[in-house]
Structure 1
Amino acid sequence: MKTSLTAIGILALSGFPLELAAQEAAGEQSSEENRIVITADRFIMPALRGIKPERSLDESDVESYGSATVGEFLDEIKAQNGDEDPVFLVDGERVAGIEDIEDLPAEAIDALDVLPRGTSQMAGGVPNRRVYNIVLKKQLRSAVVTSSARFATEGGWAEGRGEIALTRIAGRDRLNAALRYRDSDALLESDRDLAQPALARDLPIFGLTDTADIAAARTLKPDSHVIEASLAGANRLAPWLSASFNLRGRWSRDDSLNGLANALFTDAGGEILRAYSRAPLEQSFAFDSASGNLVLNADVGRWLISLAGQRNRSARSFEADFAPAGIAAGPRLPAGVDPAVEPLDAFFAITTGRSNSRGATDGVRLNALGPLLALPAGDARVRGALEFRRDTQTSVSDFGAGRRLRDVSRRTRGGEIGVDIPIASARQDVLSGLGELNMSFDYARSDVEGAGVLDRITIGTLWQPIAPLSITASFERANLPVPVEVLGDPLTITPNIRIVDLPTGQTVDVDFLSGGNAGLRSATHETRRFAINASPWPEIGLNVFADYRGETLRDTIGFVSSASLPFYTAFADRFVRDGAGLLIAVDGRPVNFARQEREELRWGASFLLPIGGSETASPSNSADDAGSDSYIAIPPGAGTRLQFVLAHTLALRDRVFLSDAASPIDLLEGGAIGLGGGRPRHILDASAALSARGQGIRMATQWRSASRLITGNSAQDRLDFGGLATVNVRAFTDLDRILQPSGFTKGARVSLSIINVANDRQIVSDDDGVTPLAYQKAYRDPIGRIVEIELRKAF
């Protein structure tokens, strides 16, 4: 009820034409003859011609999301599809990545085609991924200024954002420059209703009158500042040669408070006491990066040759104040010092630990794709690649145990080869009863310095028996080297991290060690996927899908967790206790798990229902597409449209074996490898959108089922993590629809977003209904409900 009222209220405030939409629906004929469907050729590389997209979105579809940039829009689509790192094509040509286009205004998109899973290798990408083909408008020249303010309705936190973007698109040439800034306030524990651990009264306590002083000295969210700049473009150098590039830079700073130092002292009379500092421990983190990518695409006869180069640089620095916890009688205070009167900060052994690291990546990759030989069902296409890459990570850290230097350098040389074999083709009238059927085989081999020779084998099939149905299946086995930064990251210590010590049941603040581990082994991943996608009712854009994924991961990399009892046994040396048995430090650096087994099924549906009259969609084909045999049905642009997306993820299995001899940790039955508890068996994502000519409203919700965490040896020793449903709403409208049209309102749009409308947070409780201090609701979601107002002006 609250959600419905909120949605209706936002619609009323935005002036959304509900009555107009109803009138259009009633006044216009709905017969099929009034619908205009455009069948258009799309820019697409030859290897993908003839493959029907699973989803095709036009300009009106893009507008219904209310996204400001191409990147925001694609993030929404990827989340709906459950995609990880798809291959991106722009006007049918391969680009280095989403960085090439993510800062373009959303208005630059003319259409988006989402191709079936398993088409990525046909475009020279990593197997088992989809291809997203973004068709840009032929002409666009714009300057966009965006400003937004976000704040927590519970107070204590606010964030401001600003962005300037300049864009020019002329045919196949484009150039985009963007500059953005983000400033976030720090959120203190005292800004939320958080209980603090009770003070140990075994010794006299000085410097702390109330645990509220601790809350005022700890941050839930840091004070954060980020500046990002980018320059990306593409150019047709010759009829047969094109280039795309992107340059990016980032500067960020985070500052936070880690509570009060405490230590044992001996006063002049020989009595042992515990004292707290008056000034909080401070922590700061800085990250700077610069990257550049260049891709050259050449059409050589019927072959596509691409050369991609990258150069990335990054620098990180971390500083944290910390004081060794007192485990025996502390230093004696000088005569005349009364701890009840004056602060003892000057007598604490507080030091500042520091770490710095620099990373660099340089690489070049040569790809070639083209026909190998003619078969009855079509050309068998072969692809090959050669790659050279050099990664370095240099770090230094000093957290009280002397300077530690690390220098990791790794060269990678490798190649791969793959082939696509058409088995059947209705277009070629070969086994036409089977529709379109292709098989693909890929083999990659890399010589990785320090890790040896690593292989990857992929077998896949793509079957489209009829136009609205596609079925894909694949198997992949890959040896994966440990990322250089995981090997070479500096050792850091963060004090006063709050956790539950499961063996004792106490909530304690510990020093948490993080950083790289040079002794990690390469992992082996086996992945099995089977997916079905169907569009049985094109008139309303109905799309149904099911995607099964099974994985077996050997020597996979994970982190030592304090949230699961098996870790205390398997990695006992990672949990440090004082003489009284109190947990004071946890070494959370990464380790190899012997094996992990995961299976999940994701299924759902989406549809788009035009309401009222339709507008003729503009064909996106041009002379450049002559001879293309990729035909895609583009739904007509509609004055008002209603869109629904629903996806359900069912976890079938998720088990971790810390060692070959250990019993499995079942993440679906009370096990955990992280602080978040066990994995929910069900995740439901749904969204609904109503849009019409420059204004709309979108509602998205996610529900996660309950899970549990076994904390002892009996069924009663457990924590229950309640189910959680969150709802986000976004409404937007062109200003000239709610204000008198003027020069200012032209091209201006205002948006109102509410994140976590009901301000719900996950509830964690033990068998007695008590929530451990480390699992309080504000720790699960510090900010809570967020309201954002955004003003965007396009010139």
Structure 2
Amino acid sequence: MVVHAQEAAQTGAPAAQPAEEEEEEPGEYDGTDEIVVIAGRLRGEIDVPQQPVAVFEEQDIAAYGATSISELLDAISPQTGSGRGRGGGRPVILLNGQRISSFRELRSIPPEAIRRMQVLPEEVALRFGYPPNQRVVNIILKDNFSSKQLAGEFNYPTRGGYSNYELEGSLFRIDGQRRTTLEAKITETSLLTEAERNIDVAGDSEIPAVAGDPDPARYRSLAAESREITLGGTSAMGLGEDGLGGSLTVNGAYTRTDTRSLSGLDTVLLIGPNGTTARRNLEGALRTRVGTDAFEGGLAYNRLVGTWQLSATLDAGYTTTTTRVDRRRDLTGLRDAALTGTLDILGPLPPVPSAGYDTARSEDLSASSLVTLAGNVLRLPAGDVAATVRAGFDYNRSDNEDTRSSLGAFILDRSVASAGVNLALPLTSRREDVLGAVGDIALNLNAGFDHLSDFGTLTEWSAGVTWAPTEKLSLQASYIVNEAAPSLGQLASPQVRSYNVTAYDFIRNETALVTVLSGGNPDLLAERQRDIKLALNWDLPVLERSNLVIEYFRNRSSGVTQSFPLLTPAVEAAFPGRVSRDASGRLIAIDRRSVTFDEIASSRLRWGLNFGGQFGSVTESSAAAGGRGGGGDRRGAGAFPGERLNRPAPSGEASPAGGERTSRSDAERANIPPEGGREAAAPEAGRGPRGPGYGPMGRGAQRGRWNVSVYHTWRFTDTIRIAPGALELNQLEGDAISSGGVPRHALEFEGGLFKDGYGLRVNGKWNAPARVNGSGLPGSSDLRFGSTFNIGLRMFVDLGQQESLVQSSPFFKNARLSLTVDNLFDQRQRVTDENGVVPLAYQAAYREPQGRIVGIDLRKMF
């Protein structure tokens, strides 16, 4: 029996079935007939040799209960996270298989508008002009969708002293080739002080000597007070008749951010005529206030040039920042009055005039552009050779002025011109019957350069191979060589001193309040990176759906620029000029400008298991789900992370009209019942015939869904050589340069259940214990950093699916209510010295100020 699903993939209609099959009596499949599904690839999917790490269909996405794409990406972070150890932040994001100018284009798109989402390995990023530092997430939107939404969120820690709320409104519409987004959002966070977490900074010296003197802990913040307001919009359109002239996307945003933090009080040690002393605290916190205005804009242009795909993106921003830092008051008059006896050192203190504040102003301009041309350059026996040629130009300029610096006004600027080429060469192919017995083998080659106006030319190259011996198993190997320059700020930022910064002194086994110098270091060097990656991705033959991902990484870097590390005895010995001590040996100042390490090397294994399936009996959901667009491509309705419904046909079995073959089990997982029944397709538009959002979670046959993903990282080696000829530091054995040490093992997991509009999601991270070695001398101590286990919980209900509730209160139609708990067990890392004592600098509230946070979210779509 042949089921033609290509038309269904394009129109959302159920696949046609031959008439004689419709007349058959339903019954159990006995394996005597072969079912072949002929299906074209979904528009916007990425066709690459590398097997997806995960694939999410509409129902999978609905099961997360996410209110935004950003929230969805956070929820699936175990699958989207990269173990390469380079770069950071979000994965590379593509929209319908094409580059975007920035994440601004996506942040207000509701997850219900997503038709399918692919997560692909880091190497795929090379095909789109990006370095292979992060995994690639390709988001495929529905052809038609419309929604308006209002959302509110309030978060509060169970320990009190802090709150956060968000209010957001947005409008989103897809109408064929047109896409429009408008958004407005405000986020506000209250101040959290050390007194609200019972922080003890310096022991008895912090206790007011006189009743009525203010407590400094009330005037030092653990979390700053902040408010952020964002306005933005995106417009995308097709050009020419039927979009044959390509597509153009324009987006822009304005963000205003205000923050306020506290750095303690002015304190003075008063000495009376008879030599008695008293430390007094003056009223009036030392404040730091920062105001930022950010204007951002972007363009994206895509079109076909012959058979080649041209993509051009431009992202630009202009930011002004004003920072006001209160000066310390001149307390010489108080000291003199105490010495002469005219001031009672225990009595009321006279008012001391304010010293005003220092002001730092900066204007930052940035622009980043990239043009890529991708297509096939020639035909080999095993298939087409695909090429991506890229060229880009970036510019950054920063105008700065700071009254704390003697430099006066100064300008930092850097321009970067880049170019490169990536080639993907198929060597063997089952489809083309070229050594098909060994599977599909493809080679990837990449080379490029960056020319920096202030740092010269840096080069990069890489080579990789992908081998798929079967449709369900894929192996990869890659070698990457790259040069990287320090950032403009690391090289040339102004030098600024910050006072009363808490630091732990390993040599004296004590906590000190020190003066910290930050800013640029012009002596930093270029970094040379050499990385190896070996990976396996296997669709397991167990359960309804499961896959295994195994990745091994080995990184080697020389001339590495990093922030000044944790001040261990080894670091102080390597950088003696960066530390100041008084005559008694007490730590008083640290120069924390960036440094260059001679060499850093590490190796680790990251492996993960993804499971998922359906449960429960089929039920009828009698109410429409909030804001969900419908139907679309129903082929993957039963798909799951890691499943590939569109696999290349085996050698000699190419499907007609470019279609692809799937097995009987594939067809069943695509919701084509063995009895020959068909699931009716819902309307594609977000506003269907039964009102806004009628779609896959609306009326229709539904079963519950579940999934579990667990990833384990096992670090084998992690070593540092600070300077040529210096001893090698083993971070896994306690020679760590970061606060917290380096744990050998770490776990990430997420999973959940969803049925009839009710959902439960759990995610978490666990890190093994670690230690940081002291000097071994008397008075010094090793530190043990206990394990951490942070679990997040999200429970939600799609109120629109609760028929009786909607009938009694129509407001709840298309609404979702969520309850969230971050750090469910209120777990905070415990740090102890060799005697089991917690150093003041490592109190639990410093490690995790907020603790358990409970939140409630309500979203209403119209």
TM, length-normalised to structure 1: 0.88
Q: Distance in 1 between matches of 2:156 and 2:839?
A: 28
CA–CA distance in 2 between the matches of 1:728 and 1:147? 19
The answer as to 2:501 corresponding to 1:502 is no
Contact 2:214 2:281 in 1 (8 A): no
Which of the residues 167, 173, 177 maps onto 1:172?
A: 177
What SS is found at the alignment partner of 1:119? helix
Structure 1 residues 505 and 329, CA gap change in structure 2 (3 angstroms): farther
Aligned partners of 2:323 and 2:604: how far apart in 1?
38
Q: 1:307 to 1:620 in 2, by over 3 A?
A: farther
Contact 1:289 1:315 in 2 (8 A): yes
2:68 corresponding residue in structure 1: 69
Contact map agreement 1:47 1:122 (CA 8 A) in 2: no
Q: Please tell me whether residue 515 in structure 1 is matched to residue 529 in structure 2.
A: no
User: Which residue of 306, 312, 317 maps to 2:311?
Assistant: 306
Deviates more, 1:323-332 or 1:611-620: 323-332
1:694 is aligned to 757
Going from structure 1 to structure 2, the CA distance change for 1:724 and 1:53 (only over 3 Å counts) comes to closer
CA contact (8 A) 2:557 2:599 kept: yes
Deviations 1:630-649 (A, max 9, x none): 78967558520111111101
Q: Distance in 2 between matches of 1:32 and 1:573?
A: 80
Whether the 8 Å CA contact 1:48–1:123 is kept in 2: the answer is: no
Counting only pairs closer than 5 Å after superposition, residues 563-642 of structure 1 correspond to structure 2 as 563-613=567-617, 618-619=632-633, 636=671, 638-642=702-706
Q: Letter of the 2:142 partner, please give it.
A: K
User: Which residue of 1 is the match for residue 249 of structure 2?
Assistant: 244
Q: Secondary structure at the match of 2:733?
A: coil
Q: Runs of 5+ in structure 1 lacking a partner? A: 1-28
Decide which moves more: 373-382 or 315-324: 315-324
Report the Cα offset of residue 32 of structure 1.
10
- Tell me how far apart the structure 1 counterparts of residues 200 and 438 of structure 2 sit (CA, whole Å): 65
CA distance in 2, matches of 1:96, 1:621: 31
Which amino acid in the other structure matches residue 397 of structure 1? D
Residues 595 and 423 from structure 1, CA distance in 2 versus in 1: closer, same or farther, beyond 3 angstroms? same
Corresponding residue to 2:378 among 369, 373, 383: 373
Within 1, Cα distance between the matches of 2:821 and 2:49? 42
Q: 2:226 aligns with which of 224, 227, 240?
A: 224
**Pairs within 5 Å for 1:604-683:** 604-613=608-617, 618-619=632-633, 636=671, 638-674=702-738, 676-683=739-746
Change (3 A) 1:273 1:208: closer
**Corresponding residue of 2:782:** 718
Distance 1:666 1:414 in 2: 36
Deviation digits for residues 501-532 of structure 1 (CA, Å, limit 9, x no counterpart): 12212211122222222332222111211111
Q: What letter matches 1:398 in structure 2?
A: T
Contact conserved, 2:497 with 2:515, CA < 8 A, in 1? yes
| Alpha-carbon separation, structure 1, partners of 2:314 and 2:850 | 41
- Alignment partners' CA distance in 2, 1:595 and 1:327: 49
| 1:336 equivalent in alignment to 2:401 | no
Tell me which of 749, 759, 768 is aligned to 2:826.
759
Tell whether the 8 Å contact from 2:37 to 2:660 is kept in structure 1 after alignment: no
Q: Secondary structure at the match of 2:373?
A: strand
Which has the larger displacement, 304-313 or 240-249? 240-249
SS of residue in 2 equivalent to 1:104: coil
In the TM superposition, 1:24-103 aligns within 5 A as 40-43=39-42, 48=47, 52-83=51-82, 85-103=90-108
Is 2:152 the counterpart of 1:121?
Answer: no
CA distances 1:101-133 after superposition (whole Å, capped 9, x unpaired)? 122011111111223442222233323654322
Distance 1:139 1:106 in 2: 14
Structure 2 distance, partners of 1:233, 1:78, is 28
CA distance in 1, matches of 2:557, 2:188: 40
Provide closer, same or farther for how the CA distance between residues 323 and 504 of structure 1 changes in structure 2, counting only shifts above 3 A: farther
Paired residues, number: 757
Rounded Cα–Cα distance in structure 1 between residues aligned with 2:614 and 2:821: 26
Deviations 1:683-723 (A, max 9, x none): 11122201014220011122111001112226982111111
Do 1:178 and 1:231's aligned partners in 2 also have CA atoms closer than 8 Å?
yes
In 1, the alpha carbon distance for the partners of 2:37 and 2:797 equals: 28
Distance change in 2, residues 1:129/1:765 (3 Å): closer
The one of 136, 140, 144 equivalent to 2:141 is: 136
> What is the distance in 2 between the residues matched to 1:510 and 1:351?
22
- Paired AA for residue 570 in structure 2: P
Query: 1:182-201, aligned counterparts within 5 Å?
Result: 182-200=187-205
> Residue 734 of structure 1 aligns with which residue?
798
Post-superposition offset of 1:151: 0.3
Which residue of 2 is the match for residue 447 of structure 1? 451
Is the CA contact 2:614–2:703 (under 8 Å) kept in the aligned structure 1? yes
Deviation, 1:73, is: 1.0
Q: Kindly tell me: are residues 775 and 197 of structure 1, through their superposed partners in 2, closer, same or farther at Cα, counting changes over 3 Å?
A: same
- One-letter identity of the residue aligned with 2:633: P
Question: Percent identity among equivalent residues?
Answer: 26
What is aligned with 1:5? none
Residue deviations 1:85-108 (CA, integer Å, cap 9, x gap): 543332222222433212201111
| Gap runs ≥5 in structure 2 | 1-26, 83-87, 620-629, 637-645, 647-655, 672-695, 697-701
Aligned-partner residue type, residue 646 of structure 1: V
Give the whole-Å Cα distance in 1 for the aligned partners of 2:495 and 2:44.
47
In structure 2, give the amino acid aligned to 1:380. Answer: V
Structure 1 residue 199: deviation in Å? 3.4
- Check conservation: 1:388, 1:414, Cα contact below 8 A: yes
Q: 2:258 corresponds to which letter in structure 1? A: R
Distance 1:324 1:571, change over 3 A: farther
CA distance in 2 between counterparts of 1:294 and 1:246 reads 7
Partner deviation per Cα, 1:188-218 (whole Å, 9 max, x = no partner) = 11111323422359xxx97654998122121
- Equivalent residue for 1:24? none
Q: Is the 8 A contact 1:199 1:211 kept in 2?
A: no
- RMSD over aligned Cα, in angstroms? 3.2
What are the Cα deviations for residues 708-743 of structure 1, in whole angstroms up to 9, with x where unaligned?
111222698211111121221100002245662132
In the TM superposition, residue 448 of structure 1 has moved relative to its aligned partner by: 1.1
- Change in 2 beyond 3 A, CA 1:346/1:268: farther
SS of structure 2 residue aligned to 1:555? strand
Task: Confirm or deny: 8 A CA contact 1:733 1:751 kept in the other structure.
Answer: yes
Change (3 A) 1:497 1:46: closer
Q: Please give the alpha-carbon distance, in whole angstroms, between the structure 1 residues aligned to 2:156 and 2:601.
A: 41
1:528 aligned onto 2:593: no
* In 1: Cα distance, 2:503 partner to 2:70 partner: 36
Match of 2:162 in 1: 157
**Matched residue of 1:99: which SS?**
helix
Letter matched to residue 584 of structure 1: I
- CA pair 364-192 structure 1, distance change in 2 beyond 3 A: closer
Kept in 1: contact 2:45–2:140 (CA 8 A)? no
Matched, 1:478 2:478: no
Letter in 2 for 1:619: D
Residues 282 and 614 of structure 1: CA distance in aligned 2, closer, same or farther (over 3 Å): same
Query: How far is 1:173 from its partner?
Result: 2.2
Note if contact 2:81-2:135 (Cα within 8 Å) is conserved in structure 1: no
- The answer as to whether partners of 2:48 and 2:124 remain within 8 angstroms in 1 is no
CA distance in 2, matches of 1:628, 1:459: 30
TM score, norm. by length of structure 2: 0.82
Q: Measure how far apart 1:552 and its partner are.
A: 1.2
Moved more, 124-133 or 139-148: 124-133
Report matched runs for 1:309-388 at 5 Å: 309-323=314-328, 331=336, 336-343=342-349, 346=352, 352-388=357-393
Give, in angstroms, the shift of residue 271 of structure 1: 6.7
Q: Indicate the residue corresponding to 1:25 in structure 2.
A: none
Give the CA deviation at 1:371.
1.3
More displaced 10-residue stretch of structure 1: 247-256 or 777-786: 247-256
Say whether the 8 Å CA contact 1:734–1:747 is kept in structure 2.
yes
